[in-house]
Amino acid sequence: MPIDLPALVPVPRSLLPREGRFVVDADTVIVHDPELRAAALRLRDVLRPATGLEVPVVPRAAHEDAGACADHVHPGARAGDDARAATVSGGRIVFAVEEGLVDEGYRLEVAGEGILVSASAELGALRAVETLRQLLPDGVYRRGRLDGVVWSLPAVRIADGPAFAWRGLMLDVARHFFTVAEVLRLIDQLAVHKLNVLHLHLTDDQGWRLQIDRFPRLTGVGGWRPESQLGAPRGSAPDGRPHGGFYTADDAREIVAYAAGRGITVVPEIEMPGHVQAALAAYPELGVAGGVEAPWTSWGVNPKVLNLEESTVSFFCDVLDAVIDIFPSAYIGIGGDECPKTQWENDPRSRERMAELGVGSAHEAQSWFIHRIDAHLASRGRRSFGWDEILEGGLAPGATVASWRGTSGLVTAARAGHDAVACPEDVVYLDYRQSESADEPIPVSIVTDVERVYGFDPVPDELEPEHWARILGGQANLWTEHVEGVRRLDYMLFPRLSALAEVLWSGPGRDVDDFSARLSAHLGRLDALGIEYRPAAGPRPW
């Protein structure tokens, strides 16, 4: 029975096509239980730009009390007219609480006469809104009014919920800065894909991107790197442009609120004790070997690290207190990757400090630093989130691990009773090339193309089932050494991120051919959103 199923990405757990279509028009009303008001309003908001409709949003109790108005607000009742039964317009879209659905889960009944969205809580209802959007014509994603479109959805019955709780993207805003508007645009794209974590890599050797009131030089100095070749497209001559930018606290709060409205958590990351040259340019006393002039103007692993003084630990605790004040995320990124140990090993004062602290190796020194930061975050009711190198020298008690170097970190962390997030570089690094073609604009490392990303499994084969629950999910990482603007960002993210979204939402049992077919249709949505994804035929001309 070759019924044309709607091409949803990510694919829902179950989808049953039914007869008829529901039409959204000037008579449509959204009715909601009080708990699901935010999702009801969001549906109204996403419908508005392209349809030009201002769909009324009415609390369910108030509506039902208004019995006399039932016919007015309840025009689905007219469905008794047989000629219109299959495509009756002006029905109700009801958001109703149903207890017992999984986190972020929802059920959808789309019929000619009306739509019922059931969810146990707001997040599930928000995910259902995204499914409703995908059931509408692609034009619904446009931001200007489209006249002459019939805004109808096929009748379906859907039951859905995520395979993994952590479905993320890391964006490196340190190597290249992305403006608030650009980040909000990305958040909209994540929401469409039911991704729920935006991990912002806010600091690195090449730039510090979050203003901290107590330490204004972090962004005043650390937010700007001098002219260098870093901004230049790969292979071209140095362009001599300086690069920089940063978020004020209000900028960051705006990003957090915008994401929260779409059911997305922003996980901030402040790198330590390596990848810190921008901070050292601002406050040289934090470093092992004196000052540096400016943020780094090279890529790679920088030898400079934080020193092991109490004052440096407390500086970063103060920074984290400011971060916590802005970002409600339970998880706070603390970096921990690629921290070279030679400075500690070679510097007499560092060796003295290590002796004082009773740490026998530079690995233990890093672990000591991270333990202190982890304890501080715990005292504030937050959890540290760090790259898998934080396992070296002993994992801090509250730490969650982002495992990027294959799966061994994931397995070690999970077996030790720690939560972990899978982001293996050879599968889900989106700064890596998308084909062997010499025309790829950013030919970094190995090919991680759509098929490879689609084959991702966050739970490593070698992990025993009793530890599976420790794998919260996965995320793709986009490092931006060579991604200096939105066109490149789109190119590197899509459609690979669409594949990742399905891996993490839909879980095992997916079918790659089925996905490819749905992806072709999904590209129409990306087009309407204005996303310049990588076409299957090959690179764009930039």
> Which residues form the catalytic set?
338
Smallest gap from residue 400 Cβ to ligand TNX (A):
14
Q: Which is nearer to ligand TNX, 347 or 481 (CB)?
A: 481
Taking residues 321 to 360 in sequence order and writing x for each that binds ligand TNX by CB under 6 A, - otherwise, the string is ----------------xx----------------------
Q: Which is nearer to ligand TNX, 54 or 338 (CB)?
A: 338
Q: Which two tokens stand for residue 193?
A: 């894909």
Q: Which is nearer to ligand TNX, 130 or 481 (CB)?
A: 481
Cβ contact 241:231 at 8 Å = yes
Smallest gap from residue 387 Cβ to ligand TNX (A):
4
DSSP secondary structure string for all residues of 191-235: HHTT--EEEEE-EETTEE-B--TT-THHHHTTTEE-S-STTSPTT
**Measuring CA to CA, which residue among 113, 105, 118, 102 is closest to residue 40?**
118
Q: What is the rounded CA–CA span in Å between residue 311 and residue 315?
A: 6
Q: Is 151 in the site for ligand TNX (CB under 6 A)?
A: no
Q: What is the helix (H) or strand (E) element at residue 169, kind and residue range?
A: strand 166-172
Q: Which is nearer to ligand TNX, 95 or 208 (CB)?
A: 208
Smallest gap from residue 201 Cβ to ligand TNX (A):
8
Q: What is the rounded CA–CA span in Å between residue 34 and residue 58?
A: 10
Smallest gap from residue 446 Cβ to ligand TNX (A):
11
**Position among 151, 327, 385, 387 found at the interface with ligand TNX (CB under 6 A):** 387
Q: Which is nearer to ligand TNX, 98 or 426 (CB)?
A: 426
Q: Which is nearer to ligand TNX, 109 or 431 (CB)?
A: 431
**Measuring CA to CA, which residue among 248, 261, 269 is closest to residue 331?**
269
CA distances from 323 to 268, 282, 381 (A): 8, 18, 13
Q: Which two tokens stand for residue 445?
A: 């490392």
End-to-end CA distance of the chain: 44
Q: What is the rounded CA–CA span in Å between residue 163 and residue 461?
A: 17
Smallest gap from residue 336 Cβ to ligand TNX (A):
8
Taking residues 47 to 86 in sequence order and writing x for each that binds ligand TNX by CB under 6 A, - otherwise, the string is ----------------------------------------
SS (H, E, C) 118-145: EECCHHHHHHHHHHHHHHCCHHHHCCCC
Residues 158-197 that bind ligand TNX (CB under 6 A): none
Q: Which two tokens stand for residue 174?
A: 């340190």
The bridge status of strand 420-422 relative to strand 400-403 is: parallel
Size of the site for ligand TNX (CB under 6 A): 8
Smallest gap from residue 205 Cβ to ligand TNX (A):
8
Cis peptide before 2 (omega within 30 of 0): no
Q: Is 141 in the site for ligand TNX (CB under 6 A)?
A: no
Single-letter residue type at 118 = S
Q: Is 404 in the site for ligand TNX (CB under 6 A)?
A: yes
Residues 431-490 that bind ligand TNX (CB under 6 A): 431, 479, 481
Smallest gap from residue 427 Cβ to ligand TNX (A):
13
Applying CB under 6 A, the residues found at the interface with ligand TNX are 337-338, 387, 404, 429, 431, 479, 481
